[in-house]
Amino acid sequence: MDEDYQPQPSAAKKIGKQHNTLPLWGNEATMNLNPLILANIQGSSYFKVHLFKLKTYHEVVDEIYYQVKHMEPWERGSRKTSGQTGMCGGVRGVGAGGIVSTAYCLLYKLYTLRLTRKQVNGLLNHTDSPYIRALGFMYLRYTQPPADLYDWYEDYLQDEEEIDVKAGGGQVITVGQMVYQFLTKLDWFSTLFPRIPVPIQKQIEKKLEEYCRNNNVTTQQLGSARNTASNNMGANYDYDDASYDRRGAGAGSSRSRLPPANSGSYRDEHDDREHYSNSLQQRRREDSPSSTYHSSRDRDHHREKHKRKHKHRHHSRSRSRSKSRSERRKEVQYDKDRERDRNRTRDRDYERHGRDYDDRRYR
């Protein structure tokens, strides 16, 4: 069975104009996307109207830079599957759809452009935004033969650039951890990547083990996600010269958008929330009567005094509630009496008019 899946010489390492065209693997009509996601992409006004106007690779890259904020297939809070079960429960990408994310719309837009090898390398080595790079890796995961994936991803397994992949924020991982997850897992939030055949998956695992031995790292270190959202609100763009040389500025950069070394926002630089919270806690401790207690006897005395002070308040509330209930009963009885009197008047009028009608009829 292994012989049926023997990989061909990798196309990821080939260079030259004759090899600039990328092969497409799987279903070319759907890009191997989940049918529900694909239907929502093709039916969205963002894809049909706005992205239809973008005709070139560089225009799409600029749109990714300005619009993509996460890598989930659905926008936050747009997909409701809590009350559904079975095949409609959102399991494995099946269920009620929502608002498809900007990232997946632009991913499918890149597929319609039929990217070349040079353009994909430009996405992977882009220096302006980690989301541009992430869409490049995701494009490879959906469109390239499984045997070529490791050769594409090998150089980025220890990439330290951080990216927040969760809609709404809160799941910051490195590009290397994301690439490792693309190689080893099928699940990606609420959808699935194309399945990798078992023999090729075993070969990828062996190559990963060999990579770990050669670089003195473990597979846990490659795949462990570090949640740095609490101590680093913004992305860290402190690139050294070696990383710039590795990525290069060439094919991927549509224009220079390199962020400064300290790219924190004004709120990050002048965040006084911690100072205010500490001062508020200090004032509460000072105002609390428990801080003035010298013994447990004083504390018990204060509690008993507090109970006696508010005891009459509870009795007054109970009396007021009982009084209101009695008043409501009186009002209900009054309404019933009025309705009964009204019915009596109506019956009396009917009898009188009936007798008058009979007297006129037989007169």
71-85 pLDDT, tens digit per residue, is 999 998 877 655 454
Reduced to 3 states, what is the DSSP secondary structure of residue 103?
helix
230-286 pLDDT, tens digit per residue, is 333 333 333 344 333 433 444 444 444 544 444 443 334 444 444 444 554 555 555
pLDDT, position 53: 94
Q: What is the pTM of this model?
A: 0.58
Task: Give the Cα separation of 251 and 127 in Å (integer).
Answer: 11
Phi and psi angles of residue 173, each rounded to the nearest 5 degrees, phi first: -130, 170
Q: Is the pLDDT at 348 greater than 90, yes or no?
A: no
Tell me the three-class secondary structure of the chain, residue by residue.
CHHHHCCCCCCCCCCCHHHCECCCCCCCCCCCCCHHHHHHHHHCHHHHHHHHHCCCHHHHHHHHHHHCCCCCCECCCCCCCCCCCHHHECHHHCECCCCECHHHHHHHHHHHCCCEHHHHHHHHCCCCCHHHHHHHHHHHHHHCCHHHHHHHHHHHCCCCCEEECCCCCCCEEEHHHHHHHHHHCCEECCEECCCCCHHHHHHHHHHHHHHHHHHCCCHHHHHCCCCCCCCCCCCCCCCCHHHHHHHCCCCCCCCCCCCCCCCCCHHHHCCCHHHHHHHHHHHHHHHCHHHHCCCHHHHHHHHHHHHHHCHHHHHHHHHHHHHHHHHHHHHHHHHHHHHHHHHHHHHHHHHHHHHHHHHHHHC
Q: What is the 8-class DSSP label of residue 77?
A: T
Least confident of 95-109, 274-288, 346-360: 274-288
Q: Are 32 and 65 in contact (CB under 8 A)?
A: no
pLDDT, position 362: 54
Over residues 166-182, the mean pLDDT reads 92
10-52 pLDDT, tens digit per residue, is 444 444 445 789 999 999 999 999 999 999 999 999 999 999 9
User: Where does the pLDDT of residue 346 fall: very low under 50, low under 70, confident under 90, or very high at 90 and above?
Assistant: confident
pLDDT, position 80: 63
User: Where does the pLDDT of residue 126 fall: very low under 50, low under 70, confident under 90, or very high at 90 and above?
Assistant: very high
Domain-wise residue ranges, the chain: 17-78+91-235+249-262
Over residues 120-130, the mean pLDDT reads 95
The dihedral through the CA atoms of 194, 31, 115, 20 has a sign that is positive
Phi and psi angles of residue 210, each rounded to the nearest 5 degrees, phi first: -65, -40
pLDDT, position 336: 84
Q: Is the pLDDT at 100 greater than 90, yes or no?
A: yes
Percent of the chain scored above 70 by pLDDT? 60
pLDDT, position 31: 94
Burial bucket for residue 363 (CB in 10 Å: 0-12, 13-18, 19+): exposed
Q: Is the pLDDT at 351 greater than 80, yes or no?
A: no
More confident call, 354 vs 330:
330
More confident call, 101 vs 348:
101
